[in-house]
Amino acid sequence: MFYLTQMLGKPVVDATGEVIGEISDIAIATGEVFPRITSLAFLGPTKTPFMLSWRKFVASLDEDRVTLSAERDALRFSYLQPDEVLLARDLLNKQIVDTQGMKVVRVNDLKLSESKNQLRLLGAEVGARGILRGLHPVVERAAAAAARLIGRELSENLIAWNYMDLLDRDLSHVRLSVTHKRLHELHPADVADVLEQLSPTQRARVFEHLDNAQAALAVAELEDELQADLIDDLGDQRASDILEEMDPDDAADIIGDLSYDKAETLLRLMGVNEARKIRSLLGYREKTAGGIMTPEVTTVTEDMTVQQVIDYLRTGAAEHESIYYIYVVEGDRQLDGVVSLRDLVMSDPTTAVAELVEHEVISVGPDDDQEIVADTMSKYDLLALPVVDETGRLLGIVTVDDALEVMEEESAEDLTIATGSAREPQHFTGSWWLLLRRSSWAIIWAVALLGALAASTRFSQLASASPPEGMTRQEVAAIGIGLSLLGWAAVLLPVILRVAEEVSSRAVAELIGGSETDERPGPGQRLLRESALGIIIGAGGGLLAFGFVYVGQGGFAGGATPFGAWQFGAVTGASVLLTVLTGSALAEFALRRSSTGKRVSGTALSVASMLVGAAVYLALSYWTGTLLASGY
């Protein structure tokens, strides 16, 4: 076995043993499953580049050198052919598409094998071992030995040539019969997965090798935020052709995300019928039945026979997105009933449609929410659902794939509510934002502790010698007692923070688990429920605070109850109750905001509840301490 990184720089020796240069690259013929090495590129003594036919002039290859079969003067130099690719120049350290794993990777090395006096490319090394080998073979061997010591194996991560597709150079004049055939054979969803990992320039290069039909299918599978960007980057004519190939509802979604001028340009370049269908969909609001339906509906009349309907399906309805249900209409597309494809296939060809039609049709209006549409299709196990206007006129259908997308979208929205990750700013999406979401209570607690410690230390320094100017000793004592209780409160602050987090978590659970039609407690019921819960938790928290001060100030030593213990317990209990009620109020606000279709962040709700609870507890504790010192 040979590796390209180990071959580069090796001496090239002619038949007499004279060193005439060093290897700079090798070329392969691309139209084979395991391409053979066709040419040797090397640099002469004066760094002049030369290229030789591998088959004609290479006699042998070993770890130390390449030996040629002719003397220097007898060599005949050649040129890179149209179907050849240089491995170091065109593949090494370049990005490729792994069409088997559907991901974009970087080539760290290339593995070759000698077979029947020919050297062939096996594939690309895309793992850590290739990187280490590129540094030095000794580094690779040392890392492999270290891995074995801990019971691991530093294995190769090799992608065969027939699962590779090139990205980083213009290959429009190079026929990659195997690799681009693989790209064409991928499912559109797999092509979309690859495209989402690429830069805009690289996506455009991949699109050069897809025809309009394949490109349309791939664009339809992309994430929504990438679809419009990709179409916007293409030339107007190519973009228009691709949109024309797409289902009207998918094309309308993309057109709606483009600028007005760009959208009008693309619509004018389309055929009249396609542009008309897309324009008809642009008038409906997003996230409604009209916004996700397709106007391409298979319709028949009652006076047709089964054979006539089947003949129509083979011709006039061949391009429709769904033909599982055939809708029976009369007059101006007034929906009269539905016939399933199964009933047609199982019936005698001479049977009239009127004998098979089901007149009780489940339908929705164009302004119905998309979530209601998806729930209806799920409830009745429908593959398509007709959309009709107030007069009963058939406008289009929502297909099962659109319903699945709606369910996935709604599920993702519920998840973002729970995690607080809905449309977070880009600079907050890293590890710091993750830490804030998962440990916000600990962060608030740490800040409060540090703040209380800093305030107490600073005041002690100012009052150590004499009262600050303008203050009496009684006022200084009041501040000191207030800061003392503030410090105790900072230590016990997690009680308040966890209570606030629990209240917000219950609100998030209601947001995710319920819908607008679910029975939810009203504000009064919620207040009573949360008040009872707050009193119970507050009593426990108050007893905990009392015991904390009691033990901390030596209450077991006998004598009177430590100063401020009962008052601090009462403040803690009251703060817990206020925190519960505040969190309940914020939850009610979040539920009402969600019911209007606006986004609610679970993290924002939780942090707001905790900040309010912390502020109330610390302020009440300090205020209570100053009152005690003043004799109230």
The CATH fold assigned to 186-283 is MgtE N-terminal fold (1.25.60)
434, pLDDT greater than 70: no
Instruction: Look up the CATH superfamily of 299-419.
Output: CBS-domain (3.10.580.10)
Q: Above pLDDT 70, what percent of the chain?
A: 76
Report helix, strand or coil for 569: helix
pLDDT at 215: 86
pLDDT digits (tens, 9 = 90+) for 119-135: 888 888 877 787 777 77
Report helix, strand or coil for 125: strand
> What is the DSSP secondary structure assignment for residue 609, as one 8-state letter?
H
172, pLDDT greater than 50: no
Average pLDDT, the chain: 77
Instruction: Return the structure tokens found at 626.
Output: 């100053």
Distances, alpha carbon 269 to alpha carbons 242, 272, 276, 552, in Å: 11, 9, 12, 81
Distances, alpha carbon 195 to alpha carbons 191, 529, 620, in Å: 6, 52, 57
pLDDT at 590: 72
- Strand pairing category for 66-68 and 11-13: parallel
439, pLDDT greater than 80: no
243, pLDDT greater than 80: yes
540, pLDDT greater than 70: yes
Contact by Cβ (8 Å): 413, 422: yes
pLDDT at 24: 92
* pLDDT tier, 197 (very low <50, low <70, confident <90, very high otherwise): low
Of residues 370, 374, 394, the one with CA closest to residue 382: 374
Q: Which of 312-316, 351-355, 428-432 has the highest mean pLDDT?
A: 351-355
Unique residue bearing structure tokens 């580094």:
139
The beta-carbon contacts of 438-445 under 8 Å, at least 24 apart in sequence, are: 440/603, 440/606, 440/607, 440/610, 441/494, 441/497, 441/498, 441/500, 441/501, 441/610, 444/493, 444/497, 444/607, 444/610, 444/611, 444/614, 445/490, 445/493, 445/494, 445/497
242, pLDDT greater than 70: yes
Q: Which of 396-405, 473-482, 507-516 has the highest mean pLDDT?
A: 396-405
262, pLDDT greater than 70: yes
Report helix, strand or coil for 178: coil
How far the first Cα of the chain sits from its last, in Å, is 90
68, pLDDT greater than 80: yes
Q: Among 14-28, 44-58, 194-208, where is mean pLDDT lowest?
A: 194-208
438, pLDDT greater than 60: no
Q: Above pLDDT 90, what percent of the chain?
A: 13
391-406 average pLDDT score: 89
* pLDDT tier, 553 (very low <50, low <70, confident <90, very high otherwise): low
pLDDT at 176: 33
Q: Among 40-44, 141-145, 224-228, 424-428, where is mean pLDDT lowest?
A: 424-428
Q: Among 55-69, 312-326, 366-380, where is mean pLDDT lowest?
A: 312-326
Which of the pair, 95 or 188, is modelled with greater confidence?
Answer: 188
Q: Among 10-19, 213-222, 317-326, where is mean pLDDT lowest?
A: 317-326
Q: Measure the CA–CA gap between 125 and 109, rounded to whole angstroms.
A: 5
pLDDT at 628: 72
Q: Which of 219-228, 408-417, 434-443, 593-602 has the highest mean pLDDT?
A: 219-228
520, pLDDT greater than 60: no
13-40 average pLDDT score: 86
Contact by Cβ (8 Å): 220, 250: yes
The beta-carbon contacts of 440-446 under 8 Å, at least 24 apart in sequence, are: 440/603, 440/606, 440/607, 440/610, 441/494, 441/497, 441/498, 441/500, 441/501, 441/610, 444/493, 444/497, 444/607, 444/610, 444/611, 444/614, 445/490, 445/493, 445/494, 445/497
Of residues 184, 134, 128, 174, the one with CA closest to residue 153: 128
pLDDT at 509: 62
Instruction: Return the structure tokens found at 180.
Output: 């681009």
Instruction: Return the structure tokens found at 461.
Output: 């320094």
- Strand pairing category for 2-3 and 109-115: antiparallel
φ, ψ of residue 332 in degrees (nearest 5)? -85, 65
Domain positions in the chain? 2-163, 186-283, 299-419, 427-630
27-56 average pLDDT score: 85
In this prediction the pTM is: 0.47
pLDDT at 352: 92
Which of the pair, 62 or 513, is modelled with greater confidence?
Answer: 62
> What is the DSSP secondary structure assignment for residue 352, as one 8-state letter?
B
pLDDT at 180: 44
Phi-psi region of 423 (alpha: psi -120 to 50; beta: other; left: phi over 0): left
Instruction: Look up the CATH superfamily of 2-163.
Output: PRC-barrel domain (2.30.30.240)
257-266 average pLDDT score: 88
**Side-chain-facing half-sphere of 529: CA atoms under 13 Å:** 12
Contacts of 226 (CB under 8 A, 6+ apart): 195, 196
396-421 average pLDDT score: 71
